Structure 1
Amino acid sequence: MATKVTSFAEIQPEFERYVREIVYCSLITVDRKGRPRARVLLPIWEVVDGRPVGWLAAYKTPVKTAHIKNNPHVTCSYWSPRQNCVFTDCEAEWAEDQKTKNEVWELYRKGSPAGVGYDPARYWSGGPEDPEFGLLRMDPFRVQVVRGQDLRSKIWQP
């Protein structure tokens, strides 16, 4: 049974702990025919004005770009063998402004507030100005955390 919470702060500690422990998620997008497509990626999260904001450093492949353009709804699904889970249902859009790219590059490099990150220069040698460096912003409209030991679930929606 799921408990609804009114503030993201009520689930933030569990959210951050599970994201830090699991690290990678399956990012699910939807194609033009309404079919889901998953890929494993490493987003980072921060809290802005009491709400989670996800960032995904990624190549803007034709498939991802077409999916987001056609349907901006994505899900990030985290799962651990202990059955701890996080599901974030989001609206996504490509962030194009250089200031945001620079800031998120540093979040990745230094480790996000949840303690997850990596040096993006391993993939984009030109730094945050690299033309291949794509950045997807994800704004959740639903976040669910599930504790594996008893399957207790909490859901936040703005």
Structure 2
Amino acid sequence: MPTPKLREFSDLQDTFFHYVRDIKYATMITVDLKNRPRARVLLPVWEIVDGRPVGWLAAYKTPVKTAHLANNPHTTYSYWNPRQNAVHIDSRSTWTDDESAKRHAWDLYIKGGPPGVGYDPVHYWQGGPADPEYQVIRIEPWRIQLVRGSDLRSTIWQPDTP
């Protein structure tokens, strides 16, 4: 059976949020200056903006992440659980210095977007969203693959314009 390819995110939005809420942590993969992959486990939060998913990642602006994203902003975020449900998000990830976007991401973490995912970032950045160590990566997916563990069927979202 061919893998369904969807243009509208709303067609798989409920399953996407169900899997993300269930799994919580994602493996973020970047590419180093020698084109080698590098993985780390992090906790992005997600929302829908104009019908498309947008992710936010509160993170320390480490030299490794900074160099990788400066060289190649294309990233993959993968979620997986032992039931074999998985989400693979191919995206463009960029640091944002916009204070309102950083505050927005902070609020999403506190409120949990989607519900059940998130944490109080003050545990890491005691100065709140104005803490100089608090940095945010904006995640703009251009392709998402959902894999259902019960039968390993995939559904792919890829809009016309990445």
Q: Identify the TM-score tier after normalising by the shorter chain.
A: over 0.9
**Which amino acid in 2 is paired with 1:135?**
V
> Aligned pair 1:46/2:43, yes or no?
no
**Which amino acid in 2 is paired with 1:137?**
R
- Between the aligned partners of 1:154 and 1:114, the Cα distance in structure 2 is 23
| Aligned residue number for residue 89 of structure 1 | 90
Aligned partner of residue 118 in structure 1, secondary structure: coil
1:136 CA drift (Å): 0.2
Aligned partner of residue 53 in structure 2, secondary structure: strand
Aligned partner of residue 14 in structure 1, secondary structure: helix
- Between the aligned partners of 2:35 and 2:12, the Cα distance in structure 1 is 31
- Between the aligned partners of 1:62 and 1:84, the Cα distance in structure 2 is 33
Are 2:59 and 2:136, in contact at CA under 8 Å, matched by a contact in 1? yes
1:114 CA drift (Å): 4.9
Spell out the pairing of 1:55-70 with structure 2 (5 A cutoff): 55-70=56-71
> Aligned pair 1:120/2:121, yes or no?
yes
Are 1:73 and 1:89, in contact at CA under 8 Å, matched by a contact in 2? yes
What's the TM-score once normalised by structure 2's chain length?
0.95
Are 2:21 and 2:114, in contact at CA under 8 Å, matched by a contact in 1? no
Are 1:44 and 1:114, in contact at CA under 8 Å, matched by a contact in 2? no
Deviating above 6 A after TM superposition, structure 1's stretches of 4 or more consecutive aligned residues are: none
Aligned partner of residue 2 in structure 1, secondary structure: coil
**Which amino acid in 2 is paired with 1:91?**
R
Aligned partner of residue 76 in structure 1, secondary structure: strand
| Aligned residue number for residue 110 of structure 1 | 111
- Between the aligned partners of 1:92 and 1:41, the Cα distance in structure 2 is 14
Spell out the pairing of 1:119-158 with structure 2 (5 A cutoff): 119-158=120-159
Structure 1, unaligned runs of 5 or more: none
- Between the aligned partners of 2:101 and 2:40, the Cα distance in structure 1 is 24
What's the TM-score once normalised by structure 1's chain length?
0.98
- Between the aligned partners of 1:132 and 1:77, the Cα distance in structure 2 is 25
Q: How many residues align?
A: 158
Q: CA RMSD in A?
A: 0.8
Are 1:17 and 1:114, in contact at CA under 8 Å, matched by a contact in 2? no
> Aligned pair 1:11/2:7, yes or no?
no
Structure 2, unaligned runs of 5 or more: none
1:115 CA drift (Å): 3.5
